[in-house]
Structure 1
Amino acid sequence: MIVGWREAWIGRLLLVLLMAATVVPFVSLFVTALHPSGTYPAGLDWPREPRWSNFTSAFEAAHMGELLASSALIVVGVVPVSLLLATMAGFAIGHLKMVGRRPVFLLFVLGLTLPFEGIVTPLYYQIRDMGLLNTRWAIILPLIGLFMPFGVFWMRAHFVNMPDDISEAAQIDGANIWQQFWRVHVPLAMPAISSLAILLFLWTWNQFLLAIVLVDDPAKRTMAGALGAFQGQWGTDIPLLCAGSLLVLAPTLIVFLIFQRRFVSALLQGSLKG
């Protein structure tokens, strides 16, 4: 009993320390954003007169309205296509047992080891030769390809655990492979699909490197990519820079808080199956 009690309290203490290490930087960022513009606040020093107008100033200075629209267009271009392709490929590799599935799957696994930084230079020249530099397609098309390894790996982990009896029963009822996929397996895979959609949304919204390298116009970048231009203009104004950073982070935090239960349930479902 004493050992179990100690383990429980040690676990709780570690969780509290981990939570503090995660929350304190955001609190410091928020407190700094409330200081007068042009000052250099120290740590968690709460200002005497909080300047809530810094958020409005940062929103207007960075043209956040245009950036929100640009990021939304990029997300709409990346996430649905990536979900469709990853779900279809995961179904073919994990459930249909297609010929050559293992080499194809290993190829996708190899793609998981490919860092964005390692291909950004050849990608730049390829996008330039295609005439897509300084357009949103320069971000959308590479992201779809770069997200495929993880997306296929994620969806394959779901479909490989689906019983063959489900497809056999649908086949007896006269359903072809396409009907089995859309009417039977896609509804059953919605937890995995929705959790993957959340991840793809977060990664697309926070994409920084490709937006900086492939697009010169900040109005055509993601919000995270445009933060680089904002930092260059307001890098010496620490409170305004912190306010802009929080505005960029806000949509991803809101989405994760809204869908966190569905995301965690999908992870737990995968762990129980695996």
Structure 2
Amino acid sequence: MKGLTLDAALARLLIVVLMALTLLPFLSMFSAALAPSGSYPPGLAWPADPQWANFAKAFEVAKMDELLLSSLLIVVGTVPLSVLFATMAGYGLAKFDKGRGRWFYLVFVLGLTLPFEAVITPLYYEIKALGLLNTRFAIILPLIGLYMPFGVYWMRTHFVNTPKELSEAAQIDGASEWKQFWLVHVPLARPAIMSLAILQFLWTWNQFLLPVVLVQDPLQRTMAGALGAFQGQWGTDIPLLCAGALLILAPTIAIFLIFQRQFVAALLQGAVKG
């Protein structure tokens, strides 16, 4: 670390330590997944005869292809509508920041403090009364509502920081409020919208509680929600269970690697503008 100050060297060392602590559980799961089926891996130890077929077996017995389709259907049904509603509501609250608009905004902010566990029981009976229990709509519709507080807060933060001169110039050109929103503000908000979509994709894909409580059929849950059923069936086969868990994690890791710049931008935008 020649040429680095002590603070910079300590910062880099801390990053390396945190990376090691983050990767250690994944490496332990990966080594356990390669152990012989039915054995009990001792921990972070590379097996003498890696069983790569465990991944193929886990993919087959867990019916990962059907789970992947189910997760995609839930994501497609949840994320676009949630982002659309949050963008429109965030723009409206940013434009009407005074009076009633501020009270509406406070309601959404209070929604940020509401955990999923606090509403799961009344939500169950509400979904049952609507006749949607054990369907994918039992996951999609609640998630759209539960994502609203954060989504509205996120998008309002962006629109509040947009220069008012843009709207004034559009008004002079004769643009209606609707055209100002779609033709001026939405294109400028594309980074914020993309960041919100990525975050909600990850949250939806990794959603565990709602699918387990509201849907009995594992093949209509998210991949993370189906892990409970997979664990109940193969809980004694640690290598197969670890292989299945890694297969479920693979899509989220791939999405993060593909959109890592947008993901980091999402965190930085929230830190700077929040």
- Count of aligned residue pairs for this structure pair: 272
User: 1:151·1:196 contact (CA, 8 Å) conserved in 2?
Assistant: yes
Rounded to whole Å, the distance in 2 between the matches of 1:179 and 1:40 is 62
Q: Which amino acid aligns with 1:36?
A: P
The SS at the match of 2:259 is helix
Code of the aligned partner of 1:252: T
- Consecutive aligned runs of 4 or more in structure 1 exceeding 2 Å deviation: 95-99, 265-274
CA distance in 2: counterparts of 1:45 and 1:269, whole angstroms: 40
What's the TM-score, normalizing by structure 1? 0.96
Deviation readout 1:197-232 (Å, 9 max, x if unpaired): 000000000000000000000110000000000000
Aligned to 2:31: 31
Equivalent position of 2:151 in the other structure: 151
Separation of aligned partners in 2, 1:220 and 1:70: 6
Contact 1:108 1:152 in 2 (8 A): yes
CA offsets 1:127-184 (integer angstroms, 9 cap, x no match): 0000000000000000000000000011011000011100010111111011111111
Corresponding residue number in structure 1 for 2:234: 234
1:71 aligns to what? 71
CA distance in 1, matches of 2:193, 2:77: 17
Q: Does 1:92 align with 2:92?
A: yes
* Match in the other structure for 1:142: 142
Deviation (angstroms), 1:99: 4.5
Q: How does 1:180-259 map to 2 (within 5 A)?
A: 180-259=180-259
The aligned residue for residue 107 of structure 2 is 107
Q: 1:273 to 1:133 in 2, by over 3 A?
A: closer
CA distance, structure 1, for counterparts of residue 112 and residue 179 of structure 2 = 31
Q: 1:118 is matched with which residue?
A: 118
Amino acid at match of 1:22: T
Q: Is the 8 A contact 1:124 1:213 kept in 2?
A: yes
State whether residues 218 and 229 of structure 2, in contact with CA within 8 Å, keep that contact through their aligned partners in structure 1.
yes
CA positional deviation for 1:233: 0.1
Q: What's the counterpart of residue 15 of structure 1?
A: 15
Q: 1:188 to 1:270 in 2, by over 3 A?
A: farther
| 1:273 positional shift | 4.9
Residue by residue, what CA displacement relative to the aligned partner does 1:30-89 show, whole Å, maximum 9, x if unpaired? 111001100000111101111111000000010001000000000000000000000000
1:5 shift after superposition:
1.6
Aligned partners of 1:240 and 1:258: how far apart in 2? 27
Q: Which residue of 2 aligns with 1:83?
A: 83
Q: Cα offset for 1:262?
A: 1.7
Normalising to structure 2: TM-score of the pair?
Answer: 0.96
Alpha-carbon distance between aligned partners in 2 of 1:217 and 1:159, rounded to the nearest angstrom: 41
Segments of 5+ residues of structure 1 without an aligned counterpart are none
Contact 2:157–2:273 (8 Å) recurs in 1: no
Say which is worse superposed, 90-99 or 40-49, in terms of deviation: 90-99
One-letter identity of the residue aligned with 1:175? A
- 2 CA distance for matches of 1:251 and 1:51? 22
| 1:165 correspondence with 2:173 | no
Where does structure 2 lack aligned partners over 5 or more consecutive residues? none
User: Aligned residue for 1:132?
Assistant: 132
